Amino acid sequence: MHRFKPCLRFAKSTAYRYYSSNRSFSPHKLETAGPIASKLDSRSVVRFRGPDTVKFLQGLLTNDVRKFSEPMGENERTSTLPTPNLPTVSVPPMYAALLTPQGKFLYDLFLYKPPKLDKSSSGPGSDPDQSFELFADVDATVLDELLETFKKYRVRSKVEIENVAKDFSCWQRYRGNLPEKSSSTEEPEAASVGWGAGVDHPAPLIEADKETDEQNYLLWRLQKGVAEGSTEIPKGEAMPLEYNLAGLNAISFDKGCYVGQELVARTHHRGVIRKRLLPLTFLNDSGEEVEQEVAPGSEVIDTASHKKAGTVRTALGCRGLGLLRLEEAFKGSGALTIQGQENLKVEAIRPDWWPAEWFQEYQQHSAVA
């Protein structure tokens, strides 16, 4: 499933034309809201530029970056800039991660190749001698550390790695009526999550009353079971497959070697993932949703077995994300609670966008056990 930011790359002078209404939604109202957009101050922008850009990133990241240097077919072209006289083409964005040599998560990146004028059209085109470049939307809280890490790997590669956060802002458009089909393949999971499967055109035309606070985007992600950044996906600890990065199309299993590839491939081919990141709802004894009473890091306990079922990774209001053992999460007994807050109940939810085989794998493993 592709995870795109359709309205990501805006020059700040453009992005700031729009006025935030700072609307906040309850979880239920957010489900019925039309398309809305949030400026993501939690994300920053890095630029990779130079003739070795693709080769450099291909050896580091979990996804197949070579797609950015391949010729595009007609059905893979998307327009991203409003050009009245000349069409523009761009490669669809890509989600990827950088791992430790031991296969643990470090950073996530959303990669974008700047659009260019269609060479098949008449008139002036892009400079053929222009240096190849990719932009990456990254976690702003680890920006300096991320830049240092990539520069450490650079050695003699001809690639510049720059912080361009002063020139670009990150945006996300989400909820209702976004495109349900990517340009090359149908993606029902993407449609279920509500991410657009392509790039907006034209951009960045966001009506003032459709812009909303970033907290609403966080709440929306919690409802869908999608983590982001090196806090929600613990840096140096998280196993990428347990945090569903394969289902979010962040991992290529046929691209060849990259940093941390061995453990990821071995876990994938073994086919047993006992823990996964899940959406959580926090309830009181009467089954009513409870606001602001659960902190990240809280332990989820199965009261029937008195065993730890998992950990709350992040929480907002009555919703959260938790890394839980599937055996306890889907018992259906209503026995999950928070350690030290036994008056609270925890409901684990299976996201609609999950591939069917994930749940089948869990059921088969449970039957064998």
Amino acid at 307: K
* Residues 225/42, Cβ–Cβ less than 8 Å: no
Q: In the structure encoding, which two tokens stand for residue 152, read together?
A: 């450490």
What is the spatial distance between Cα 108 and Cα 232, in angstroms, rounded to a whole number?
Answer: 11
Three-state SS at 108: strand
Q: In the structure encoding, which two tokens stand for residue 350, read together?
A: 């299976």
pLDDT at 31: 61
pLDDT at 342: 85
pLDDT at 292: 82
Mention every residue, 6+ apart, whose C-beta is less than 8 A from residue 201. 78, 79, 80, 81, 82
What is the spatial distance between Cα 277 and Cα 281, in angstroms, rounded to a whole number?
Answer: 13
Q: In the chain, what are the domains?
A: 10-267 (3.30.1360.120), 271-368 (2.40.30.110)
* Residues 336/301, Cβ–Cβ less than 8 Å: yes
Q: Which residue ranges of the chain lie beneath pLDDT 50? A: 1-23, 74-76, 79-84, 86-87, 119-129, 177-204, 367-369
pLDDT at 271: 77
Cα 179 vs. chain centroid, distance in angstroms? Answer: 17
Residue 27 has phi, psi (to 5 degrees) of -55, -40
DSSP letters spanning 13-57: HHHTTS----B---HHHHHH--SEEEE-TTEEEEEEESTTHHHHH
Q: In the structure encoding, which two tokens stand for residue 208, read together?
A: 């003032």
Cα 52–250–297 angle (5° rounding)? 120
pLDDT at 293: 85
Confidence (pTM)? 0.81
Q: Edge-to-edge, what's the strand order for the sheet holding 133-139?
A: 94-99, 105-112, 133-139, 43-49, 160-163
114: how many CB neighbours lie within 10 A of its CB? 17
pLDDT at 176: 52
DSSP 8-state symbol, 69: G
pLDDT at 364: 53
DSSP 8-state symbol, 86: S
Closest to 86 measured CA to CA, from 50, 47, 106, 115:
115
Q: In the structure encoding, which two tokens stand for residue 118, read together?
A: 């269609």
Three-state SS at 363: helix
pLDDT at 90: 66
What is the spatial distance between Cα 240 and Cα 309, in angstroms, rounded to a whole number?
Answer: 19
Q: Is the peptide bond before 204 cis (omega within 30 degrees of 0)?
A: yes
Mention every residue, 6+ apart, whose C-beta is less than 8 A from residue 122. none
Find the DSSP H helices in 155-250. Answer: 188-193, 214-224, 229-232
